[in-house]
Each structure stands twice: as structure tokens, then as C-alpha cells.
Amino acid sequence: MLTSQVRPTTLRRPDALPSAVKHQRVSGKAASLMPGGRRRGVVRAVVSSGDSKGGVETAEKVLKSNGQLVSSSSRSGGVNVRAVIRIRKKMKERLTEKIEDQWESFINGIGRGILLQLISQDIDSVSKSGKSCESVVRGWLPKLSDNPYVVEYGADFVVARDFGQPGAAVVTNFHDKEFFLMEIVVHGFSQGPIFFRADTWIHSRRENPQSRIIFKNQAYLPSQTPPGIKDLRREDLVSVRGNGEGERKLHERVYDYDVYNDLGNPDKSEEIARPVLGTEERPYPRRCRTGRRPSLTGIYLSSYLSHYPDIESRIEKPDPVYVPRDETFEEVKQNTFSRGRLKAVLHNLIPLIVSTLASSDIPFTNFSDIDKLYNDGVLLKEDETNGAKKNQLLAKVLNQVLNIGDRFSWLRDNEFARQALAGVNPVNIELLKELPIVSKLDPAIYGPPESAITREIIARELNGMSIEEAMKNKKLFILDYHDVLLPFIERMNELPDRKAYASRTIFYYADAGILRPIVIELSLPPTPSSLRNKYVYTHGHGATTNWIWKLAKAHVCSNDAGIHQLVNHWLKTHACMEPYIIATHRQLSSMHPVYKLLHPHTRYTMEINALARQSLINGGGVIEACFSPGKYAMEISSAAYKSMWRFDMEALPADLLRRGMAVEDPTVPGGVKLVIEDYPYAADGLLIWSAIKELVESYVEHYYSEPDSISSDVELQAWWNEIKNEGHHDKRNEPWWPNLDTQDDLSSILTTMIWTASGQHAAINFGQYPFGGYPPNRPTLMRKLIPRPGDPDYEKFLHNPEYTFLTSLPTQLQATKVMAVQDTLSTHSPDEEYLIQLDQIHRLSSNDPQVQKFFENFSVELEEIERIINQRNKNAELTNRTGAGVPPYELLLPTSPPGVTGRGIPNSISI
């Protein structure tokens, strides 16, 4: 069976184990799961006896202690019932694990490994709780299923004829290690087979004496919960909330909140100490609490920690960071990584790259250096253990085929502009709504607020069209990173080999449907000698101005790459989803229809976020090493959260309207009409958004048809309040939070969450390598400012502009690390679950045919959307999708095979 952090199996004397089920209890209490609970009924029936015979009471003792022991003769009028439990085993097992499996099969065979209880939906007249019966799992040899890694065991019950229908199953694991329970199917009741979908790890009773509650596949609002399982519903929720104390163990399923206080490691070095995010000064969404001990030295770093000294100690790779047990990667995902993806890249490939290139880390000096990197890979130093064979395998990560089409397309202005609409970061371009362009930063600190881009400069680039006409006809657009970056530029430029500006770029949308950049402004903070360090560049016509223009575009791209990674990708999808996931588990029962709707969209997110905190966004991690902001990366992310993030603007139509990229039109999908029709991200995204919205509205209407059913749903209201007040604690007082009173309110909230986890993340994640893997196309940092007349390097630039350009880009080491990580982040796992598969996923967890029909219709609609997108990509009039060297826009195609494909919408943020 699957295992994680388990002890070796201990041989017990047979007489110390449950003595099977010669005697069966047919009614009794469904009691508290919590330690020290007031009631000790069936759920806590099996407890450690502390005797010397193995520490487990016999089943007979357990049943006697519950106060009702029924002889087999008194059960003759009962109903024979059989429960089949399906357990998933490991795909790859060591010899010791195979021996353990054989022993566990023996223990199960004699009925002393797993105790199963069925709890009725009906109340017992004596106990006033759900009727119950219990049995042990038996079977000398487990039954093999169609899947070679799935085994089945059975448990036989005789239940009273007035037992009613079971609503919950309670599982106690007597083995020394956990097992993965897929489902329980109960046969013998008149209603037909009753399914209890689990897909959960069942911890060993040695690790935790609490048994696990699994509810049947039926959704109930809190007010509709059958009386026999009401207490279990509440107690199951309480069990996953924890008490906010102590360090979490890897086998636990406790969901709680904490601030980002584990990004730095002051115990290792003051150089990689980092400030806490999630304070009044540096607001941030909350992450999952691990409860690790405080840093030993962090409290002395007063310059960082004056407001929040409790820095958490770090667990460094490859040791795992705690996430609730069911949030961890399943074996297929783990195996994918072990063959060369995220863990292999972070733990093996990048250290090898560093050891190979660090001593001679050099810039690219000509374009053949870059071509050589793709053709030959990196000749890594031999590892003493694995030798050159392993190095060759890892080096293959660098030899993917790029999807940017023409290798030299990055040189063209229209490709630079096209990627603002159809690249990996198509979510920052805005309509230019007013002139002059004015900063919102404090002029006392950052100088005059007016941009150096004047009306006159723009007018010269409009080919005779007036400014007024261009703005009236929505022809001018802007990519503005000035205010979010300028407060950090001075500190960024003090870092070794980092030089950055805060950029603004103006685009003109010509009548031919071509978007092109016409003006770039690059700003530095004011100095005593120059209060207005703003430089304006246009394309020009001479050789010198052409090369300067290329350098200016490269600086814009480095700004764009940093904002994309730290704000649009990490913050707005990964980090902001985590509080929704935590609140969903803490406040919504697994029986709640909203829990069932959201659950597929939470898979793997907490695990990938924990890995990111450990190796990507941490102090000294890959993002700091390879992107312009360096050690200030997460502070910029926090500043963006403070000034830019608001839940109501994360809905795709609302975001497009806010940016002026669309106008309201109730006759088209999403209720908005695009200002630029050939805007692939938005055009395809609105189709996906509309399909999700239609599904969610039908689902919400189905479950909340009664007046006031939403406002009276105690779990739902607690969930939304916790998201606002705990999960996004630093934004709790904002006036823009939606109310949650009506069907429209709930539908809008859920559609936004599902879109964020699926379509939005897919659009800004899976193109990272296809667009960013070629350094000149999308440099993640720049190492030099643009030379100006009179600068020492200006004559060198005039003599060899190609050398100046390439040596301004990331070094070979930095570029190689970025390429390896972006390749990984752009990869679909073989066990990925896609949006188009929701009907199959919900079929396993719901027995409502009407709900199933909603998801079947949704899948059919996604198939039609895929057909529409493929047609659009063949339309010669849509020049942002087609043309010589132009790749089709496929990031929002619903389906994808495994690997780096540049397409496919997973249900959740899983990489």
C-alpha cells in the first residue's frame, strides 16, 4: 500500500488484535471524534488499551464497552449487508514494502486490520444518535480489480431491518502505516449499491486514535442533513481545523492559516533573511500553517522584523514541507517529478548547472552562443554516483523545441506587441484613457508625477491621425509598470549585475488590425542632480536608434517577466487560491454541494505552493536569482497585492472592463465586447468563462432554489466570512468584497474562483517555456542600463551593438536555470485532470442525475469551444494567431496530452 513517513510493521500476537465480528453491534451512538470528547460511542470505540499484548482491545471488548452485545441468534431477523472497500497500492515498491504488504494482507485476512462502521441516517430511539453497525474487513487474499494497483476487501454486516440507509462510514486503521482508501461500496440495502467516495489517506491508529468519517455520495445543505449524521458532519469539520498550536505532522489533515514568515532563512545567513509578508506594512494572502519552531536568529534582525519577529524556521530541500495529507502529490505526479520535473530540476539539475557554469559564468556574446545552448545543451560535470548518463538525461530538459515560431520574430515590433495580447502575460495591457499620463506615487519622493511621454511625442507616431481621434476610436493602449516598480528600482539597481527601469509603453492599433509599440518611457528614481530621470524612446530610422529601441524593448520585457511571475502568476493565482482552499476544508463539509463543486479545483495547489516557498520564491531561490527584482521580488508582490488586487476584479469580464479592453454588451459571451477583436487571450477566455458561469449558475439554482437558502446556510456564510477575514485578513475591511445573499452573488464568487484555478492559470502558466525559453525574446532581467552619449560604454556600444545587447541579457547560467524551471512549470503531468473531464470526476462523487447532466453539458460545450478555437487559429484575418512564423494561440484549448504542449486547461493549479 502507499506509505509516507511510516514505521516498520510490528508483529502483534493474534490474540491482541480485533477478534473479527462474531458479535455485531446493530445500534448505538455516533460519537465525538475529538480527543476528550464528551461522548464515547462508536467513532471512538476502538481505543488503545495499553496492555502488553499489542495495545489493541479485541473487537469483543469494544462491543461490550459500547453497552450492546448482540448474539448471532438474536440477529437472525437482520439483513445481510456487504461493504467492499477499494484500496490503491503503490506502483513501485521496495522489497521491504512488498513484505509489509503481504503481512498486511494476512492481518486483513484474519479480520484484524481495518474496522468499518456504518452509521444510519436515522436516529436510534435510545441513543438519540445515528444507528450503527460495525464489522472488520476480511479476506485472505485481496480481490484484484481491473487496475493492477487497486485491491478490494470485504466486510460483512447483519443489520436490523429498521436500520434505514447508511449515511456515513467510519474507518479505523489498525495497521502500522496509512493506506489510501479510494471508495467504499455497500451492497444489500433495498436502495441498491450505496457509494462512499473517499480518495483519502487513512492514518494509522498509532499515529492518531481518531477514526475517519467518510460520507456517502450525496450532497446536503446543512439544514438538510439527515438527523443520524448531523453530529458527524459537525465533528468531521472540527477535526480538520486544529487548534492553532503545535507543529503539524506529515500524516495530519489540519487546515489553518499563517503569514508568509518562512521565505528567508536567517539561521543560515543574514543575507537570505526576508521580511514577513502578511502584516500591515506588507499585506499578503495567508498560507497553510505548519507550526514549525521560530527561527533561532531571526528575532535579532530588527531591521527586518521590527513589526513581526516570529520568523518560522525553514525545512530545506529535499525534506518535505507540511501540507494536509490529502493535498500532497499522488504517486504518478511524484514519479513524473522524479524523472526530471520540478523536484529533479530544483534538487538535481540546477545544482549541477550551477556547479558547471558558476565558476565561469559568462554572458552571451553572440547569437551563436544561444543557438549552441539549444543544439548541444549544457555539458554538465559528471556526478560521482550516477555518472554521465544521468547528466545527459537531465540536459535534455534544455533541448525542447520553442513555440515562438520564427527564431528572429522577437526583433519585430509587431511580435513584441502581439505578445501583449497573445503571449504568456496578456493581462496587463490597458486602453489609454487620458493624457497626460500621471503617476499616483508621492511626488515628494518620486519626483514630478507627469510622464515624459507627451501628446506631441505620441502625435508624431500616428501617421497623421490626431490624438483626439485616436483616443476616441480606442486606438491607443498602454503597458504601465511605472508605479509598481519605481519604489524598488534604486534598491534593485544596487544588486550585483542588475539594472532596471520602471517602464511605460504606448501602443497604436492601426486600421489594418496591427498593434505596434510607438513610444517607450524608462524611468529611474530622482536624484539630487536630476529630479526627472525619465527617458523616452521611439523606433527611429537610423542604425543607432534601432539598437537603442531593441534595448528599450528588452527592458520592458524584463519588467513584464517580473510582474508576470510575481503578480499575475504567483500572487493572483497560486497565493490567492490557497485561502479559498483552506476555508473550503475548514468550513464546508465534504457533503456540502459547494465543497463538491470546488474540490476538483483544489488538487495539488497547496503542495505546489509549499514547494515554491521552499525552492522558487524563497530567499536565494530561483526567482530571486534569475529575475530583475532579486531579493525584493516578494516585497514587490506584496506591494502589488496592496495596491492592485481586489476579488471583484478577478472575474475576467470585470478585469477586461477595468482595463478598457472591452465594453459591456449583453448579447455576446461574457456580457462584454472586445475593443480589439483579435485579442486571443480575451476572446478564448470569454468562451471558457461563459461556459463555467453557465455551469455554476445551473448548479447553484439546483441546490439553492428556496428563498433565503443562501443567507441561512451557516456553513456557506462561515466559509465566505473566513475567506475575507482570515484568508485575506489584510484586505478584510475593503468595501469591494461582494455580498453573499443571492444566487447571483454565489454564482459570481464561485465562477471567479473556478476561472482563476483553471482558465486563468492555464493562460499565464503553460506558455512560460514556449515564450520565455529563448532569452532575447523575453529576458527575465537586464544587467546594464542603456548607454547614453557621454557614458563610458557608449563608444563600445556604437562599435559593437550586438555585444552590448547580448551582454545586457541574463548570463548563460541565469538563462539556463530559467529555461530549466520554465520548462518544468510548463509541463502537464500524466495524471492531470482537465476541465473537460469534470463530468467524469463528478460522476464518482454525486448520485444526482440532474447535476450529472449539468457537467455532461459542460463537457460538450468545451468540445465545441475547442473546435471554435481551432477554427480561429486558421483564420487568416486574425493576424495575432496566424501568419508566417506566428504560432497559433492554444493556451486556452481545453485538452492536452502530457508534457510541454502550450495548451490544455487543468481543473486546478497543479504546477
Tell me which residues are annotated as active site: 569, 574, 761, 765, 911
Cis amide linkage into residue 318, ω under 30° from 0: yes
Count of helix runs (H) and strand runs (E) in the chain: 31, 20
Q: Chain-centre distance of CA 880, in angstroms? A: 29
What are residue 209's phi and psi, to 5 degrees? -70, -10
Helix axes of 350-357 and 812-825: crossing angle, nearest 10 degrees? 170
AA letter at 522: L
CA–CA distance, 685 with 148 (Å, rounded to integer): 39
CA–CA distance, 693 with 687 (Å, rounded to integer): 10
- Measuring CA to CA, how many Å separate 168 from each of 14, 172, 526? 29, 13, 67
C-alpha torsion 551→554→555→560, nearest 10 = 160
Instruction: Compute the Cα dihedral for 269, 308, 250, 11 and give only its sign.
Output: positive
What lies within 8 Å, CB to CB, of 267 at 6+ separation is 295, 296, 297, 298, 313, 314
Residue with cell 549585475: 497
> DSSP 3-state assignment of 78?
coil
What lies within 8 Å, CB to CB, of 529 at 6+ separation is none
Give the DSSP letter of residue 22. S
AA letter at 726: E
CA–CA distance, 652 with 569 (Å, rounded to integer): 15
Which H or E run contains 334? helix 331-338
DSSP-assigned states of every residue in 394-412: HHGGGGPPPSSSSTTGGGS
> DSSP 3-state assignment of 899?
strand
The x, y and z cell numbers of residue 699, run together, are: 448548479
> DSSP 3-state assignment of 775?
coil
CA–CA distance, 214 with 186 (Å, rounded to integer): 13
Strand order in the sheet with 212-215: 130-136, 114-123, 166-173, 212-215
Alpha-helical segments (H) within 80-180: 95-109
- Give burial (CB, 10 Å; 0-12/13-18/19+) of 369: middle
CA–CA distance, 42 with 63 (Å, rounded to integer): 9
Cis amide linkage into residue 593, ω under 30° from 0: no
Of residues 123, 185, 237, 288, the one with CA closest to residue 592? 237
Cβ-contact 181, 220 below 8 angstroms: no
Strands 257-258 and 515-523: unpaired
Of residues 687, 644, 576, the one with CA closest to residue 287? 576
Instruction: Compute the Cα dihedral for 857, 858, 859, 862 and give only its sign.
Output: positive
